[in-house]
Structure formats: structure tokens, C-alpha cells
Amino acid sequence: MNSTNQILKAEIHVHLEATITPDLCRNLANKNAVNLPNDIFGNKYAYEWANFYDFLKKYDLVTSVIHTPEDYFELTYKYLKDCAVNNVIYVEAMISSTHAKEKGMNYFSFLEGVYKASIQAEKDFGIVSRYIMNGIRHLGPESVYNTAKEVLDNPHPCLVGFGLAGDELHFPPTLFQKTFDMLYDANFPITVHAGEWDGPEQIRKAIKLLHPKRLGHGVRSIEDSQLVEEIIEKNITLETCPTSNVATKIYPDYVSHPVKKLFSKGVKITVSSDDPPFFNASIQGEYDIMKELGLSDQELISLTRNAIDSSFCDKDTKSKLLEKLN
């Protein structure tokens, strides 16, 4: 595979807690006295999982070793350092205050760990990062509402958007309309996981009810040409994650994945690694895949431009990042 290492990259769909490597997972488990089952570490992937719902369980188990703001600092700094090696200039990662609170941290302390690492990584490697707070579908509408309300009531310089993640099939957009109306009224940027596991009808509902500027995955929109046109017309960006979708068997292989077709139709797409060690993914690998699918270097740079242009960071930061691509 031809490496795309020289291409400047950006990643706007990655779950920060799920970037934890097996080595860091073991180290934090030892430090925080967490007993992990031996069979959690896999052969095919860094962590063993059987299907999406098993993946959600293993995700919670693996990330249960993150207990302190210092752990968040170490996790964040390591991930950003790895990104910088692969010529990533901007990251917008999703984070979870509900996870942090389960481990005894509060909203401010866990954010401070992330923020300090972000500042240090920018100083050390030149990589810029911002963060999106996620509400978790399968924790229910009240949990998502409370998470969003806390974000709106407590602005933080590293927090630039709000997302909805988790079990798409059993927790449809209608459950979360109140929360996302509140965010929309506050002019707070929104991204929503939709069109990964469920089809076009739920994507339509997500667009209508939840006011997203971006859709996490969104790839099953390809099943409805009118929906694809609506996405283009409304300038909604799709945060695609091809390796993730192939690993979870939504598509059997990269040739079958609709990312190239969506790109060719004029949909504004980006590529990202989602939950890297769970799928043996990396942002470098996603760009390599797109090159294998036939994108030129200029088209690869357009993916980076899409990510930065669609990012939720401030205009000055965005302008400086876009200048690097010229």
C-alpha cells in the first residue's frame, strides 16, 4: 500500500477514551487496581469483541481503567503524539463526562486533564486539538439532556461541540429532540451518530429533529439517492470511518464500502479512525485506504480541508489550519 504519510491530515471522528492502547490499558489497570479479564486482549484486534453489543461492553471494560485527570492527560497526550507522527495537524475528539464521573472525577477535573495535554501536545508537536462532549444514547434521554445542559452552563475553551453516540438501533432520534433543540437554540454545534447501523429513514429523522452540522458515519445514506441530495444541499458533512465499518461487518470490504461513491457524488466527507485499537485502525490507515480506492493526493488533501472546514473550532484557528493546506 502506498503510504500517505506526507499528506497533511485531520481527524474529526474519534472517541478519545477508545484510543487507549493495550500497553497503556495494562499500565493504568495496574496503577488503579483494576482486574481485567485475560481474554479482553485479542489477536485479530487489540481488544477482543464478537459483535457490536459485545464491543460496547468491551469498550466500557477497557476504558474503566481511566480513573484520574492525570490518566486523561496521559491518554490524550499519547494519542496526539501518535497523530503528529502521521502528519495530523488537527483533531476533534469525542469525550465522555459520564465515564469520568463514574470514576469519581468531576466535569472540571477531567476536562482539565484533557486540556493540559492538548496544550502540551500543541507546544511539543504543533498539533491542534479540540473536543466534543458526547451524550450516550443507551444511558437514556435524561442522561443526554443533563450532559448537554452541563456543557452549556459551563463553557470550556477546549469544548467546541456536542455529539450523540451509542446504540443507534434502540435509541432513535425522537428520544433526544428536547436536548438538541436546546443545543440548537444556544447555537452550539452538533454532530450525531446516524446511518452506521440504521438506514435512511433514521438519518432523515436525525437531520430533521437533531439539527446536526455533521453526521457520524452517515454512510447508509447511499441507499437513498434523495437523501444523498438532501445531505449535499444542506452541506452536512459525513464523518466516515471505513475501517470501523468493515471491522463491524456493516460492509464486507473496502471496495463495497460507499465512501468512494459518496465522495464522487459530491458529498462532503472526511475519514477518521473511530476507535483505533478496537479495529486496528489509524488516521494514517484511513488515508491509505482512500488512496488505494483511487483518490489522488489533491483529493486526499480535500478530505483534510473538508474536516477542517467542517470543524467546530473558532474562525481564526480554522483559517490558520486551512492556510497550511495551500
Taking Cα atoms as reference points, which of 186, 191, 209, 168 lies closest to residue 272? 191
Instruction: Identify the three-state secondary structure at position 37.
Output: coil
Cβ-based neighbour number of residue 256 at 10 Å: 10
Is the distance from CB of 322 to CB of 305 less than 8 angstroms?
yes
Would you give the end-to-end CA distance of the chain in angstroms?
26
Indicate which residue of 17, 74, 196, 286 is catalytic.
196
Cβ-based neighbour number of residue 266 at 10 Å: 11
Reply yes or no on whether 196 is catalytic.
Answer: yes
Residues in CB range of 148: below 8 A, 6 or more apart: 133, 135, 162, 179, 180, 182, 183
Cβ-based neighbour number of residue 251 at 10 Å: 17
Cβ-based neighbour number of residue 208 at 10 Å: 11
**Structure-block grid coordinates of residue 126:** 504543533
Q: Which residues are identified as catalytic?
A: 196
